Structure 1
């Protein structure tokens, strides 16, 4: 592109120089020739006035007198009736510029100048015009190179930015070039980079959340299938299959919530539901895993509570807390329900070492973990709780007490 810009600029300059240069040469040639002709004619008239003046005074026309009145590079011949011609200067050879003047007494004066003098003058003028044209071409080349660099360098930079975006590097460069059109392209690329960055972040977050949130129900479903495969009792198979189908439905709800949340984090489908049913379902799902680990999972507290939220989301939050206690806690795990003000609270506690003091509330931040885990589970659980207008808090570090706060009944929360 740089070469095209230089060539196009140079072509325009050459066309302009050719048009105006040739016209200027023609005009100057005509002007010089006309000027030389007028000068010779003027000199002939001037010599005629001198000759007439001397004839009227009765003076003799001498060549020495006329030689002082004529330009050195010109030739003059005075023809007088009844007298020999008087010649002044050297007669030019070849082409000449000639002018003559005739007096009242029949006298005649012829003035000649060599055309070579005019040609030399025209040659000098053409050389000057060519020199100016050459300088104009050089200036145009320098200007074209500078302008080409100014335009192509930003385009190359913008191409590199677009290539970086295509290779998965969405960092905006915030570089501007002083050219409105190019700056507009840079603005669009930076805006696209920011949007792509947000999209990639959301996709990575969705993948991490999905990986973590699907692991728990899939593990529970796998345990149910193992129970089915290990028994020959039709009643047990039927019971376990019913539970497995319920887990599949909750797994479908998990996927649906993850997809909905990725499209609109503010979306929700809060309803009034029976909290005891959700707590009981989680205890039944996790009790086999705790039994295998030699630990107990119990629930207590106020019964018959109704909360406002999304049952599937509440189940996921409780599952995250129960799994967290299974992985990082010790001893029995207790789920206790209670009422405070217009809220219902589900507390999950165990007899383990709890949360270290240097973590504290940071335990809900992504990638923050005290046991070399992913650090995603509690962060996702808090996001799910807040999406339904609730909140998840760490009430006590040692022994750990996590509490899920939800609106009570239907009057305190609507979507």
Structure 2
């Protein structure tokens, strides 16, 4: 591409130089020739007027007297009536420029100049034109090389950026080149890189979140199925199967929630529901795990609170907090409900050592963990809470108290949206 740009620019310059150069040569040649002829004419007329004046004044006319009136490179012949011709200078040979002027007293003055002088002047003019043309060609080549590099280098960079995107490296370069068209292409590639990076991040988060959030429901479901295999009591089998089916429904809800968040984390399905139902469901699900390690899980606080959120998302947030207390806390785990203004608050606390001081400010960041766990449970829980307009905060580090804040008022919907459903 560089070579094509240079060749095309150079071709245009050469055409321009050829057209205007030839025209200029023709014009200058004619101008020089015309100027030389006019100088000869003017000198002949002037010399004739001098001779006229001397004849009228009866003054002597000779070559010595008129020699100063004729240029060194010219020849003059004065033909006087009844007198021998007077010659001044050396008569040129070959092609000459000649002019004859007639005086008022019958004399004739002829001035000649060799055309070689005109040829030398034309040659000097052509040399100057050729030098200017050569400088123009050199300047055009330098400009073409600079312009070619300015256009070709960005295209090479853009090709490398596109190749890097295709190889799975979505980092935008944020590099601009000062050419509007190329900068537009760079903007599009950077935008594509950012979108690809977001999609890859969403896929990785989906994989990490799925592995974390599906582990607990699958473990609980496995425990229920083991209970079924170990008992012969039909009533126990029916009870455990019913609980297992409920866990399957929650597991389905977890999967749907993960897929929804992977497409658009802001998408929520908030409804008005009773917090007691979700809390009791979590207590029933986690009591066997706590009982197996000799610990208890209880609930207290204000009853029959209603909140606006996604029940499945609230259950996942509470499950993350309860599991966090099971893995890292100690003693009895308590779920307390209370009201603050227009918000319902569910607090989860235990009797363990709490959150280390160096992790307090970063506890909700992904991959942050003080006990070699995945470090994504609290981050996912916070995202779930915020998706429904709530928030998850650490209210106290030692002993640890986490608070889930949910709105008690239905979200106002604009005209045309479907009305909010209510779970009873």
Bin of the TM-score, shorter chain as denominator length: 0.7 to 0.9
Instruction: Name the structure 2 match of 1:374.
Output: 374
Q: Which runs of 5+ in 1 are unaligned?
A: none
Task: Give the 3 Å change call, closer, same or farther, for CA 87–304 of structure 1 in structure 2.
Answer: closer
1:385 and 2:385 aligned: yes
177-186 or 376-385: bigger deviation: 177-186
Shift of 1:55: 4.7
2: CA distance, partners of 1:389 / 1:55:
121
Task: Give the 3 Å change call, closer, same or farther, for CA 46–355 of structure 1 in structure 2.
Answer: closer
1: CA distance, partners of 2:281 / 2:201:
34
Q: 2:410 aligns with which of 393, 399, 414?
A: 414
2: CA distance, partners of 1:326 / 1:117:
112
Task: Give the 3 Å change call, closer, same or farther, for CA 45–222 of structure 1 in structure 2.
Answer: same
44-53 or 189-198: bigger deviation: 189-198
Instruction: Name the structure 2 match of 1:307.
Output: 306
Query: What secondary structure, in the 3-state scheme, does the structure 2 residue paired with 1:113 have?
Result: strand
Task: Give the 3 Å change call, closer, same or farther, for CA 77–285 of structure 1 in structure 2.
Answer: same
Instruction: Name the structure 2 match of 1:75.
Output: 75
Instruction: Name the structure 1 match of 2:294.
Output: 295
Shift of 1:377: 1.1
1: CA distance, partners of 2:345 / 2:128:
98
Instruction: Name the structure 1 match of 2:38.
Output: 38
Instruction: Name the structure 2 match of 1:253.
Output: 253
Task: Give the 3 Å change call, closer, same or farther, for CA 66–329 of structure 1 in structure 2.
Answer: closer
Equivalenced residue count is 409
2: CA distance, partners of 1:347 / 1:78:
130
Query: What secondary structure, in the 3-state scheme, does the structure 1 residue paired with 2:91 have?
Result: coil
Instruction: Name the structure 1 match of 2:91.
Output: 91
340-349 or 64-73: bigger deviation: 340-349
1:140 and 2:140 aligned: yes
Task: Give the 3 Å change call, closer, same or farther, for CA 121–229 of structure 1 in structure 2.
Answer: same
**Contact between 2:290 and 2:297, CA under 8 Å: does it hold in 1?**
no
Give the TM-score, by structure 1 length: 0.80
2: CA distance, partners of 1:170 / 1:136:
46
RMSD: 3.7
Shift of 1:158: 5.0
Q: Within 5 Å, which residues of 2 pair with 1:181-330?
A: 197-228=197-228, 237-290=237-290, 293-301=292-300, 305-308=304-307, 309-330=309-330
Query: What secondary structure, in the 3-state scheme, does the structure 2 residue paired with 1:75 have?
Result: strand
Query: What secondary structure, in the 3-state scheme, does the structure 2 residue paired with 1:382 have?
Result: helix
1: CA distance, partners of 2:239 / 2:300:
27
Query: What secondary structure, in the 3-state scheme, does the structure 2 residue paired with 1:359 have?
Result: helix
Give the TM-score, by structure 2 length: 0.78
Shift of 1:319: 1.8
1: CA distance, partners of 2:322 / 2:80:
140
2: CA distance, partners of 1:58 / 1:356:
132
2: CA distance, partners of 1:289 / 1:233:
22
**Contact between 1:317 and 1:385, CA under 8 Å: does it hold in 2?**
yes
Query: What secondary structure, in the 3-state scheme, does the structure 2 residue paired with 1:77 have?
Result: strand
Shift of 1:134: 1.9
**Contact between 1:272 and 1:306, CA under 8 Å: does it hold in 2?**
no
229-238 or 3-12: bigger deviation: 229-238
2: CA distance, partners of 1:330 / 1:62:
139
Instruction: Name the structure 2 match of 1:122.
Output: 122
String of CA shifts for 1:190-229, please: whole Å, max 9, x gaps: 5555555555544443433233112222222333344455
1: CA distance, partners of 2:55 / 2:32:
35
String of CA shifts for 1:10-31, please: whole Å, max 9, x gaps: 3333333222222221111111
Task: Give the 3 Å change call, closer, same or farther, for CA 110–386 of structure 1 in structure 2.
Answer: closer
Task: Give the 3 Å change call, closer, same or farther, for CA 273–135 of structure 1 in structure 2.
Answer: closer
Task: Give the 3 Å change call, closer, same or farther, for CA 120–270 of structure 1 in structure 2.
Answer: closer
Query: What secondary structure, in the 3-state scheme, does the structure 1 residue paired with 2:139 have?
Result: helix
2: CA distance, partners of 1:67 / 1:399:
126
